[in-house]
Amino acid sequence: MAQKHESCLTNGYLDTRLDWVAGMIAGVRLRDLPTFIRTTDPDDVMLNITMKQCELDAPAADGILLNTFDGLERAALDAIRARLPNTIAREDGRCAAWLDAHADAAVVYANFGSITVMGRAQVGEFARGLAAAGAPFLWVIRPDMVRDAGDGDGEPLLPEGFEEEVVASGSGRGLMVGWCDQEAVLGHRETGAFLSHCGWNSTVESLAAGVPMLCWPFFSEQVTNCRYACEEWGVGVEMARDAGRREVEAAVREVMGGGEKAAAMRRKAAEWKEKAAAAAVAPGGSSRRNLKSLFAEIAGGVQPVINPV
């Protein structure tokens, strides 16, 4: 679109009616659009922030919270839903039945969260490492997780023969899904270890479920969470950022094996599960007391009593 002259802001051009903006009311004019995008400067800060939010941030979001309701802006909401149909990841219903077919604590669950991205070569290394370790595994690979998956060169995402050997062979060695109910998977008795990016939500959910961790921190606070999981809480084994198939295989064997370190991690994980249930969320537990205190403050302005969790 050609850049407009500044005179367009004052010469009546803003009275131009628009019929191409999906979801907008009939007869809407240029002047009716938000003022912070009413500019003739293509480098305007607010214009570019808005474009980034619409073109990049919103499609990548797990969910979008809008302060409106269907009856008020139905046409606009329908247009948004048509453009962003997959903002909430759909869980794969095969997970529970697949887990049921395995022995207690035998499965490695791998999930790197909702925003971590990997290169295709790195996915291949993890695939080979998981396969070589021998333990059955449930691996969540989001559609947007692999940054170079769609570069058009025709190369498959997973190593040649991997799916036939591990996933489609009927051996039950592996299940690949786009998303799952993580709390249900971690709470399943067949899940024996969690290969994780160590995001805080995943870390706490793993501790609450009593599942040891194979820690592969990606960025931000994940490296701190990894250190605590491995050194302070005694439930994890750390893998290097550039871990390849041999490191992945070794970590899986260490956590899933019968050695003393694996046994110690399972004991510590069980202890943290008990603490989370009994000391935090059970009646009288610290988290429940704090939450009740927060509700009381919201409901009646009562000063909360904060207790350590």
**Domains in the chain, ordered, with CATH?**
6-83 (no CATH), 95-281 (3.40.50.2000)
Q: What is the per-residue pLDDT for 53?
A: 83
150 pLDDT band, cuts 50/70/90, is low
Q: What is the mean pLDDT of the chain?
A: 85
Q: Which of 168, 101, 162 is nearest to 131 (CA)?
A: 162
The stretch 151-177 carries a mean pLDDT of 74
Of the pLDDT bands very low, low, confident and very high (cuts 50, 70, 90), residue 55 is: confident
The reported pLDDT for the residue numbered 93 is 86
pTM value > 0.85: no
State the DSSP H helix or E strand holding residue 176, giving kind and residue range, or none if neither. Answer: strand 174-177
Between residues 208 and 170, the one the model is more confident about: 208
Closest to 127 in 3D by CA, of 115, 118, 142, 139: 139
CA nearest neighbour of 176 among 208, 230, 137, 215: 137
pLDDT of 301: 59
Contact 56, 66 (CB under 8 A): no
d(CA 295, CA 293): 5
In whole angstroms, give the CA distance from residue 232 to residue 237. Answer: 12
- Contact (CB, 8 A) for 203 and 196: yes
Nearest to 37 by CA among 12, 60, 56, 54: 54
- Alpha-carbon distances, residue 301 vs 71, 289, 292, 297, 304 (angstroms): 33, 16, 13, 4, 9
Question: Is 67's pLDDT higher than 70?
Answer: no
pLDDT at 64 over 80: no
